[in-house]
Each structure stands twice: as C-alpha cells, then as structure tokens.
Amino acid sequence: MHINPAPEAGDTITYSYYWEPPTIATTAAEVICPDINIIARLALKEIYEGEDEQDLADKQGNIAEQMIVEHIGKDNIPAVGQFYTMNPIEGYGIGNY
C-alpha cells in the first residue's frame, strides 16, 4: 500500500477493512465469533427446543439475536476520522459513491 503524502514517522495510520470468515464445511471446524456467548445461547436454544421448552428457547433465541444486532452495530461504526459516505471528488453530483 502506498500512502501519499507519506505520514510522519510515529504517526498512527487508522484504516478499516473487511474480513470474511472461512466457510464452515465440517462439524469439527472451528467457529470464529466475536462473542462466544452468542453461540452458547443459540446452542441452549436448540437444547430447550429438544426438551419442548419453547418459552425458554424463544427467550434464549431473542437474547442471542439482540447480541448479534449489537455486534453488527459495532461493526458498522466508522473508524476514527471516517464518515459513512464519501462525496464525489468534484463536489457535485447525485448520491454518494
């Protein structure tokens, strides 16, 4: 990567990137998750459904969904000094890039 103009020595370079986790192909594959409590609650939901405890299953499912939404919100926050959209370089036009 080339940055122009080059930053001064010791300056912090802040950037964002998108990383896509690998596809899970087997039951023995490792699951990458930002919060293992999400996976635990989804597993507990499945256990409760197997025991015909639908109210408890629904509760655990709702908690897991709320946790997922929270993490999606954190992922969508722009990095320091970044905006959600970029305006056209020309300074005019319709919409955003």
| 22-47: pLDDT as tens digits | 777 888 877 777 788 999 999 999 99
- Rg value, the chain, Cα: 21
In a domain, 6, yes or no: no
Count the domains in the chain.
1
Q: Is the pTM of this model over 0.85?
A: no
In a domain, 49, yes or no: yes
In a domain, 45, yes or no: yes
Domain boundaries, position 63: 36-75
Tokens of 67: 């946790």
In a domain, 61, yes or no: yes
In a domain, 8, yes or no: no
Helices 36-50, 54-75: axis angle to 10 degrees equals 160
